[in-house]
Structure 1
């Protein structure tokens, strides 16, 4: 079954509001927030990185997909969809976490970019995909992770007739309803592990031990930044500066602290508020995200051999092994073609000159 084509008999998108789309009522009643400027850092230190205080609200946990209380953290390229559930780091409660970020940049030279896609086997972010056999309908720019995600989504939709709620809004591009019922959720749970893999070549020897995987044609990116991260953590001390900061800045903590000292409430109620505040402080986690080094590793994807390089290498190898070079071949061609032609023309000219009478031999009467 072709994964690039959707069934025309699928039900169209219904008019109900999706979970990830704000309703018109909310957009009218809530004031629009001003656009925030992206912040950058040119240093490598926890002091100048991004520090975030997280409250997992452990008391509200009922049924969780994970077996821990906390969050998952993933550092990824802005061109890629964040697959946090499958690739993120686990960050638990009551911890101070340090996440050091590094990067590797791969760029293609101008010689590589001038080649055809079939020859260079990579695609640029803003390149036209016409005639390549690649169909991207949801993402504005090409990236291999996005291409793989859309390919897997098409296969998953064909098998289960729905997609996970955290996927991008494929329903808008496909004009199909991608919401799941109970049967669809069970189908996704059974298929997700298989679709996380890619199919291998039929000639691969150890194919029996591998998952079938998704059959997707997604070439690598000509320019790609790959982020790597390493994490260390330790338990927060009691009454640390983080707890003091939360009590001073976090609105919920300030309210609970105020309620515990409110004399209008009974002692029992104040104790309940105090327990909630204490439990919240026990759940707090502080995460630092920062650059490990001041620079990154940069690789260049370049043309390995040009036509002149091949000619020079061939001439050198032949000259070393046989005592023959391309220059010798050029001399042979010269002697048997151009030189013979020139010599023949000279001989013809000499013959004509011999047949003409000389001026010195002319007799006058």
Structure 2
């Protein structure tokens, strides 16, 4: 909200697409058990302060919490990043035919999943409107088994390579173990223990084959039992884009070209892109998991159906209990065990 973005508040993270930078992400050292590959990074050590996925922000009106937050929807309260690259930086052997930057949206306590990315083309402005989807769970489900409620609480499932549970973390860990078993090594970006070797370029084909086998065999993910988190946060995005005539603007403002002359020795081979991310609305609706039929719901529905079908009511239930218990006991006391049904009185009459 009006602040400029500097490099020291971006978090460097290893992904399947290489080294990426994430804004507003908790430091990987506070997310993974093995912090070996993030020890020498230069970004600011960003630890969660006043926020958790389950409870949200503790203080409602402070700006000192981390992850950072905005109090305004729309572009003014969002994040705007200008991305620069030179045409000589584009390596056709390391990328596909799609030029541009890859961007993915994820919550602060989760590693980015580049399989869900969208493209920011060269010399384009991309606007991303975000609608959060928060799923929580009702207190009545706490006593249910995870297999029955179909989700895990954060303290119910411990992972080997991650400090907190999420379905994505569980799937990443499952793929790591499968790759280690299949190839004898793991990719550089995967979470791992210190004893796991990192695969070199010669094992690239093996890793791709192992990943394909892992995805094609549904039993692999089933064995890992990666249920969703009982509290999960996802983002739905609406994307629009347009051409960015930044070259024409720089020609008009020659002072900018002078300040960045080292970067723009050949302006025609330089490329700028801009991505603007913002929340679409001020509020959003949260979803809650709850039991379709609890104990009280079952008996109330059963009583309603009985009353509808056979005229059964609470008075009828009391009468049934009376004739099966109290009436029999009274007859035994009055007439003895041989006439527990009261037949002696009927015969005398």
TM-score (structure 2 length as normaliser):
0.70
Per-residue displacement from partner, 1:4-33 (whole Å, max 9, x unpaired)? Answer: xxxxxxxxxxxxxx994455xxx8xx8x85
Q: Does 1:176 align with 2:196?
A: yes
In structure 1, the residue matched to 2:56 is none
Q: For the Cα contact (< 8 Å) 1:161–1:184, is it kept in 2? A: no
* Structure 2 gap ranges (5+): 1-34, 48-65, 337-349
Q: Does 1:312 align with 2:300?
A: yes
In structure 1, the residue matched to 2:208 is 189
Measured after TM superposition, the shift of residue 159 of structure 1 is 0.7
Per-residue displacement from partner, 1:77-101 (whole Å, max 9, x unpaired)? Answer: 23432121x2100111111111111
Q: For the Cα contact (< 8 Å) 1:124–1:222, is it kept in 2? A: yes
In structure 1, the residue matched to 2:103 is 73
Q: Does 1:276 align with 2:266?
A: yes
In structure 2, the residue matched to 1:221 is 229
SS in 2 for 1:114: coil
TM-score (structure 1 length as normaliser):
0.68
Q: Distance in 2 between matches of 1:119 and 1:214?
A: 15
In structure 1, the residue matched to 2:240 is 232
- Answer 1 or 2: which has greater strand percent: 2
Deviating above 6 A after TM superposition, structure 1's stretches of 4 or more consecutive aligned residues are 242-247
Give the aligned CA root-mean-square deviation in angstroms.
Answer: 3.2
Q: Distance in 1 between matches of 2:144 and 2:95?
A: 46
Greater mean deviation of Cα atoms: 230-239 or 88-97: 230-239
* Structure 1 gap ranges (5+): 1-17, 130-134, 201-211, 260-272, 349-365
Correspondent of 2:181 among 147, 158, 167: 158
Q: For the Cα contact (< 8 Å) 2:161–2:193, is it kept in 1? A: no
Measured after TM superposition, the shift of residue 305 of structure 1 is 2.0
Q: For the Cα contact (< 8 Å) 1:198–1:214, is it kept in 2? A: no
Number of corresponding residues: 283
In structure 2, the residue matched to 1:6 is none
Counterparts of 1:14-93 in structure 2, within 5 Å, are 20-21=37-38, 38-62=67-91, 63-84=93-114, 86-93=115-122
Q: For the Cα contact (< 8 Å) 2:175–2:211, is it kept in 1? A: no
